[in-house]
């Protein structure tokens, strides 16, 4: 009998690719999404039947007939306008607790999409799941707080799976161009120029969206009930790159493309252009968010899982 999985955030960047992926692997999906980006499609999505509802109004009865939940929904990255971090992220933490408590009461497994950004500032060596966390943004702090809530809630009857995703990239029916590889590819294809708003020396781990989907599918395929929660970095240790190296890799794929560095006041750019490229988390050309991630543990915890995409292959596969 096919497993039925509820995917929150099913109409987002990852969710729009995940639902079709899971259904191709014999898993029945139900979507759960506000629908804010329902019509923002780059290509036709394979959306499952979807409940158009805000998780802030979640009711435990919404889990009727569901065997597992993949929780992708949440606020992404930076603040919107002048809203405070509390106003942005506190509801995300509250509705995740409510969802997890309902899963626990119903005996339903939960897979939570966290982020490697919780490491924030890593040492020279590869950070592991046991390494200290130093979140640098409200977004990454929110992810870490939710992880802590889920771990505190776990016991012999409820063992959530927490996936710390590397920075995801690749084609989705509902694209995001505000994440590193997608952003740089977008610049290269449209302007034949990749502009970096830092010195590019910060390290990031990267993960193709199809490998992210495969990791989730592997979690759902685990037999029986877990005795302990799982916390896993998701990615491939070989896909740790400095931003400048990704920029140069992208530029090599696009004829005539160059890499430039944004230096406020010296670039010759108009101020309104500068405001679009600058980032409040970068000061004097330095991005303090830098970390290299070890992804060895996931290959032991999820038999058969391996990342199939390198950054080079993913960039070459981008349309254009």
d(CA 163, CA 135): 16
Q: How many CB atoms lie within 10 A of CB 5?
A: 25
Q: How far apart are CA 29 and CA 47, in angstroms?
A: 9
Q: Print the domain residue range for 103.
A: 4-170+206-238+294-309
Instruction: Tell me the β-bridge partners of 51.
Output: 32
pLDDT tens digit sequence for 3-19: 999 999 999 999 999 99
Residue 262 lies in a domain: no
- The arithmetic mean of pLDDT across residues 33-57, rounded, is 96
Q: Are 233 and 297 in contact (CB under 8 A)?
A: yes
CATH number assigned to the domain comprising residue 61: 3.40.50.720
- Residue 187 and residue 206: Cα distance in Å, rounded? 18
Considering the domain boundaries, does residue 314 fall inside one? Answer: no
- Do the beta carbons of residue 196 and residue 249 sit within 8 Å? no
Residues facing 164 on adjacent strands: 114, 233
Q: Please state the domain count of the chain.
A: 1
- Out of 127-136, 142-151, 254-263, least confident range: 254-263
SS3 273: helix
Q: Who wins on pLDDT, 77 or 115?
A: 115
- Report the C-alpha gap between 32 and 300 in whole angstroms: 31
Rounded-to-integer distance, Cα 233 and Cα 124, Å: 17
Residue 243 belongs to some domain of the structure: no
Assess contact for 210 and 308: CB atoms under 8 A.
yes
Phi, psi of 54 (to 5 degrees): -80, 135
Q: Is the dihedral of CA 172, 174, 175, 179 positive or negative?
A: negative
Instruction: Assign 308 a pLDDT band (cuts: 50, 70, 90).
Output: very high
Mean pLDDT of 108-133: 92
Q: Looking at the domain assignment, is residue 316 inside a domain?
A: no
The DSSP code sequence of 165-215 is E-EEES--SS---SSHHHHHHHHHHHHSEEEESS-S--EEEEEEHHHHHHH
pLDDT in tens, 137-180: 899 999 999 999 999 999 989 999 999 999 999 999 999 999 99
Q: Residue 183 corresponds to which tokens in the numbers above? A: 């952003």
pLDDT over threshold 90, residue 276: no
Residue 79 has pLDDT above 70, yes or no: no
Cβ 281 vs Cβ 274: under 8 Å: no
pLDDT at 199 over 70: yes
Contact 289, 224 (CB under 8 A): no
**pLDDT, tens digit (0-9, with 9 covering 90-100), for 50-70:** 999 999 999 999 999 999 999
Q: How far apart are CA 44 and CA 64, in angstroms?
A: 29
Looking at the domain assignment, is residue 164 inside a domain? Answer: yes
Residue 277 lies in a domain: no
Instruction: Look at residue 254 and tell me if it is in a domain.
Output: no
**Secondary structure (3-state) at 145:** helix
- Decide if 102 contacts 39 (C-beta within 8 A): no
The beta strand positions in 258-319, using DSSP E, are 258-261, 282-283, 286-287
Quote the mean pLDDT of the chain. Answer: 90
Greater model confidence, 231 or 223: 231
| Of 201 and 217, the one with more pLDDT | 217
**Within-domain flag for 274:** no
């Amino acid at each position: 009998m096919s497993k039925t999985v509820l995917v929150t955030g099913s109409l987002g960047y990852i969710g729009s690719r995940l639902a079709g992926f899971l259904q191709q692997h014999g898993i029945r999906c139900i979507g759960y999404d506000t629908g804010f980006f329902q019509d923002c499609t780059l290509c036709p999505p394979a959306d499952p039947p979807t409940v158009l509802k805000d998780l802030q109004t979640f009711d435990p009865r919404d889990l009727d007939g569901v065997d597992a939940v993949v929780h992708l929904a949440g606020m992404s990255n930076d603040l919107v306008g002048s809203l405070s971090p509390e106003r942005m992220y506190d509801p995300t933490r509250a509705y995740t607790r409510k969802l997890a408590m309902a899963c626990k009461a119903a005996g339903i497994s939960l897979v939570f999409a966290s982020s490697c950004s919780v490491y924030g500032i890593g040492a020279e060596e590869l950070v592991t799941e046991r390494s200290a966390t130093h979140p640098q943004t409200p977004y990454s702090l929110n992810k870490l707080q939710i992880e802590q809530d889920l771990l505190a809630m776990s016991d012999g009857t409820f063992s959530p799976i927490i996936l710390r995703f590397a920075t995801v990239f690749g084609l989705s029916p509902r694209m995001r161009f505000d994440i590193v590889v997608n952003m740089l590819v977008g610049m290269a294809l449209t302007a034949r120029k990749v502009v970096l708003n830092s010195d590019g020396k910060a390290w990031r781990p990267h993960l193709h969206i199809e490998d992210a989907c495969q990791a989730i599918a592997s979690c759902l395929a685990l037999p029986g009930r877990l005795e302990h929660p799982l916390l896993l970095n998701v990615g491939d240790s070989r896909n740790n790159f400095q931003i400048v190296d990704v920029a140069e890799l992208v530029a090599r794929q696009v004829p005539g493309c160059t890499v430039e560095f944004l230096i406020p006041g010296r670039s010759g750019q108009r101020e309104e252009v500068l405001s679009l490229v600058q980032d409040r988390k970068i000061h004097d050309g330095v991005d303090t968010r830098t970390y290299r991630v070890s992804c060895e543990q996931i290959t032991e915890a999820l038999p058969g899982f391996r990342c199939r995409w390198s950054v080079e292959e993913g960039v070459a596969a981008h349309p254009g």
